[in-house]
Amino acid sequence: MNRCGVEQIPDWFAVHVRSRYENVVARCLKAKGYECFLPTYRSRRRWSDRVRELELPLFPGYFFCRFHIEDRLPILKTPRLISIVGIAQNPVPVDEAEIEAVRTLVNSDLRHEPWPYVGIGQKVRIDYGALWGLEGVLQSFKGRHRIVVSVTLLQRSVAAEIDRSWVSPTLDHLPRPLDERGNTHQPCTQ
């Protein structure tokens, strides 16, 4: 609770674990009463004698856990957990909007997969279909369009194939109006 006696909602944090132990550690933390989110995707793997479809972590070595930062000691004592992601030994919460964007994408029926992190590009909003309202970066790959949703703190992304007609630019990336001299208007900061 904060000073006013109001219950604070815990933040989401990225948890770094040993490779291939994402599921084990997430289940352990859930058993301790924490809310965890381990986004996955399906991948077909070919061996010499068979093809198998596997469910793999979308961000290998990471998943998300919701908790109050001052209550992190039981989490840090969890076997196979390496650290809580942060800057200079200080855990940094993941933006709630980024978690919800990844959750929306994973819960849709669209094929999705890990994607190289995209920090610069055209930010768009989906206006139709299962991903309506989702914001991400529009990319073109092999002649098809994808929306890329990123988790800035991890510098990891996930992409889903979409129809280009589903998207529109977000307001923060629209061109600024020109004045009579042809210069763009700058927002007033006073």
Q: What is the pLDDT of residues 130-166, one digit of tens each?
A: 889 999 988 887 878 888 998 999 999 999 988 877 8
Query: 118 and 89, same structural domain?
Result: no
CA dihedral 93, 162, 129, 57 (to 10 degrees): -40
Comparing 60-74, 117-131, 141-155, 156-170, the range with the smallest average pLDDT is: 117-131
Query: 141 and 63, same structural domain?
Result: no
Does this model's pTM top 0.75? no
- The stretch 38-61 carries a mean pLDDT of 91
Q: Which residue has the higher pLDDT, 118 or 14?
A: 14
Domain span at residue 58 reads: 1-94
Residue 187's pLDDT band (cuts 50, 70, 90): very low
Query: 103 and 71, same structural domain?
Result: no
Whether residue 190 lies inside any domain: the answer is no
Start-to-end CA distance of the chain, whole Å, equals 36
Query: 64 and 29, same structural domain?
Result: yes
Query: Length of the chain in residues, anyone?
Result: 190
Whether residue 188 lies inside any domain: the answer is no
* pLDDT tens track for 175-185: 444 444 444 44
Residue 121's pLDDT band (cuts 50, 70, 90): low
Query: 86 and 7, same structural domain?
Result: yes
